[in-house]
Structure 1
Amino acid sequence: MSHVSPASRPTIACAAGGTGGHLFPAEALARELQRRGHGVVIYTERRGAAYTQALSGLDHVVLPARSLEGGLSGKLAAGLTILRATAQARADMRRRDVRLLVGFGGYPSFAPALAAKSRGLPLLLHEQGARLSMANRKLLRFADGVATSFPGTAGLHGFDAARIVDTGNPVRQAILDARGDYPALASNAPLRVLIVGGSQSARVFGEFVPPALLQLPESIRHRLQVSLQMKGEGVASVETALQAGGIDATVRPFFDDMGARLRDAHLVITRAGATTAADLLTVGRPAILVPIPQGGSRDEQRRNAETLAAAGVGWCLPEPELTPAHLSALLADAFSSPTVLPDAARAAAALGRPQAASTLADLVQSTLARHA
């Protein structure tokens, strides 16, 4: 836990799950509120606390957290964990004189939201996906307002439409700095492809994408400049195989210049998480979106991918259809056309919401004023 920061305006709390998809939008809002003179604190769990760069200079509190999934014993243990985290969050809110909480989803956001409501504080929920997440659905009855990232977000039926604001999904400063014109697609000029999907995609993307690239015609392969984020075994062998096929390839476990690589990319192959979608739209880059198979009510990535594909931003390619032959054919068609990728880039940029953090901060301040 870090120190309490003095500020001239009321202190605002953000609660976020331990993934970057939850934490990065919370960070973006917190920094915007800081610029406006508010004290801020982020409540998260141990996984979220590992994003040290995102939390640098921001007060944050690590709370115990446990998913409600599992049998009866698991649910009982989760319930006790939530009670303990709620008590800790409530005490911290009292000490900081927190005046409002913004929940960004993920089960670790549940306890801080309960703590805020037990203290009579207004609660705003921010939904990053095209459908309300499980945590936000559970908290909806307590919410004073909901901010959405997609128009027509599913799962809000019955909630007062006047209290729903389409703010967009706040993105990190590095992504905002990467905004710019789509790179020119001149004949014989490089074709830059960024392939990134996080730890859950290392095996899948490493297995299917390189063979698809190697199946492309030689005239395309020799123009490719590929950045592939891949973890685990085989990184060196994949890079060697691509280079042997005439492809200028860089394969790394992590890129610390993601904003620059996204800015320079003609096409991105990636998962379909909400933060990934916001990054693509903010910078205005077309994408082949491969949603993580989830199924049932938790099929958030598929919904995100289908929403963006329907808007012309790119292609939704379900994982069962991610074969080298299918992907290679899709890539060949896209690279052979002078208009397909630029048109998709324009569609992405048209949906981008670079002012999302500012718009959400405006909503925070207006909600504060109503509850003053």
Structure 2
Amino acid sequence: MPDLHPAPLPAIACAAGGTGGHLFPAEALARELQRRGHPVVLYTERRGAAFAQALDGLDHVVLPARSLEGGLAGKAAAALTILRATWQARADMRRRRIRALVGFGGYPSFAPALAARSLGLPLLLHEQGARLSLANRKLLRFADGVATSFPATAGLDGFDSARIVDTGNPVRAAILQARGAYPMLDGAAPLRLLVVGGSQSARVFGEVVPPALLQLPEAVRRRLHVALQYRGEGADAIVATLSGAGIRATVRPFFDDMGERLREAHLVITRAGATTAADLLAVGRPAMFVPIPHGGSRDEQRRNAEALAAAGVGWCIPEPEFTAPRLASLLAEVLSSSHALPDAARAAAALGRPHAAAALADRVVAMLPRA
């Protein structure tokens, strides 16, 4: 006689930093595991908890977190915060009977990873970028496996290659639902431009994009529908200025309906974070990438942007070169071409990894301890 009450599936935890770049892939995996019947909890910090839509319906725990940056006093305070968060996470994992943890980077993922290892649980790290992040580099010696978003990921030298799997970067359901044909371009249809700076926004876009659009020919301006993510003062003035030039504009500090806006967009102007790139590729939309400047760990965005531009997905504009005249010139060239945007859209769609969440979930399940 069949068992009418099968044993529940093992509970799994995810840990992610507070930015969308870390949290959104964790959400995508959590929902895929939930769909398979696994109880899931997501550990993050207060910034991550602010993404209420992403966490809707997901058990999540907000832990104290603090960056390791700063002098001796700052590092000591961070160590105490990590210790406190580790004990909180450990107690919660024991209560929930967690059987494995997946870490998505960011310093708030550090404490849950240490808690998992102290309990003898398998630890899988997921890396969104083409180079191992600082948190994942620190945790690498504790990891049982690493899942990557790029076939070649820097920073894994010396780690057993048999424990590395290229799953791609999980994409949220709202983004996957936006997949479809590239919007038609003709002489009368609206030209939809989406300008986003990642979950933290980007002030430079609000300073450069509007004056660049004003330099475009009137016939182009009259067709433009612009959605600009801008966090700062002067949003109403930007809308008024663009409207006065015949441009329909929506300016908000954050877009909750990113999937819908990507589906409608003919072109995206954006940063070049790994999760942003994964979303663009999954939907198949061309972009002008403006990577975060400076060096160090943030140099990852420059490598992402250059690689995507070389693959024909769009154009890379270093921020020092991101001026209104430069942008206006490039926009005029691209928008006057009958093939530049559709060709870039096809290149983007060809690189998309829509099944990344399922592939990562397969890897997690394979790591679970056998009963």
- TM-score bracket relative to the smaller structure: over 0.9
Please, which moves more after superposition, 266-275 or 181-190? 181-190
1:342-357 to 2 correspondences below 5 Å: 342-357=342-357
| Contact 2:11 2:100 (8 Å CA) reproduced | yes
Q: Secondary structure at the match of 2:101?
A: strand
- Mapped to 1, the partners of 2:287 and 2:295 lie a distance apart of 22
- Mapped to 1, the partners of 2:299 and 2:211 lie a distance apart of 28
- Mapped to 2, the partners of 1:320 and 1:7 lie a distance apart of 58
- Mapped to 2, the partners of 1:8 and 1:201 lie a distance apart of 41
Quickly say closer, same or farther: Cα 1:298–1:193, change in 2 above 3 A. Answer: closer
1:236-255 to 2 correspondences below 5 Å: 236-255=236-255
Sequence identity, in percent?
Answer: 79
Aligned residue-pair number: 366
- Mapped to 2, the partners of 1:350 and 1:160 lie a distance apart of 30
Displacement of 1:194 in angstroms is 0.6
- Mapped to 2, the partners of 1:354 and 1:218 lie a distance apart of 39
- Specify every segment of 5 or more residues in structure 2 that has no aligned partner in the other structure, as ranges: 1-5
The one-letter code matched in structure 2 to 1:19 is T
Please, which moves more after superposition, 299-308 or 64-73? 299-308
Displacement of 1:200 in angstroms is 4.8
User: 1:51 is matched with which residue?
Assistant: 51
User: 1:337 is matched with which residue?
Assistant: 337
The one-letter code matched in structure 1 to 2:69 is E
Residues 1:41 and 2:41 aligned together: yes
1:142-221 to 2 correspondences below 5 Å: 142-198=142-198, 200-221=200-221
Q: Secondary structure at the match of 2:155?
A: coil
Please, which moves more after superposition, 216-225 or 358-367? 216-225
| Contact 2:201 2:253 (8 Å CA) reproduced | no
Residues 1:14 and 2:10 aligned together: no
Post-superposition CA distance 1:55-85 (Å, at most 9, x none): 1221111111111111111111111111111
Displacement of 1:7 in angstroms is 7.9
Quickly say closer, same or farther: Cα 1:7–1:322, change in 2 above 3 A. Answer: farther
| Contact 1:272 1:290 (8 Å CA) reproduced | yes
- Mapped to 2, the partners of 1:323 and 1:218 lie a distance apart of 20
User: 2:232 is matched with which residue?
Assistant: 232
Quickly say closer, same or farther: Cα 1:355–1:189, change in 2 above 3 A. Answer: same
| Contact 2:149 2:169 (8 Å CA) reproduced | yes
Displacement of 1:38 in angstroms is 0.7
Post-superposition CA distance 1:210-244 (Å, at most 9, x none): 11111112232222111112222211111111122
Post-superposition CA distance 1:296-325 (Å, at most 9, x none): 233222222122112211111111111011
Please, which moves more after superposition, 15-24 or 183-192? 183-192
Q: Secondary structure at the match of 1:120?
A: coil
Quickly say closer, same or farther: Cα 1:200–1:364, change in 2 above 3 A. Answer: closer
Q: Secondary structure at the match of 1:38?
A: coil
Residues 1:265 and 2:285 aligned together: no
Post-superposition CA distance 1:139-175 (Å, at most 9, x none): 1111111111122122112222221111111121111
- Mapped to 1, the partners of 2:47 and 2:252 lie a distance apart of 22
- Mapped to 2, the partners of 1:108 and 1:257 lie a distance apart of 26
User: 1:114 is matched with which residue?
Assistant: 114
- Mapped to 2, the partners of 1:177 and 1:110 lie a distance apart of 32
Aligned residues: CA RMSD: 1.6
- Mapped to 1, the partners of 2:128 and 2:7 lie a distance apart of 28
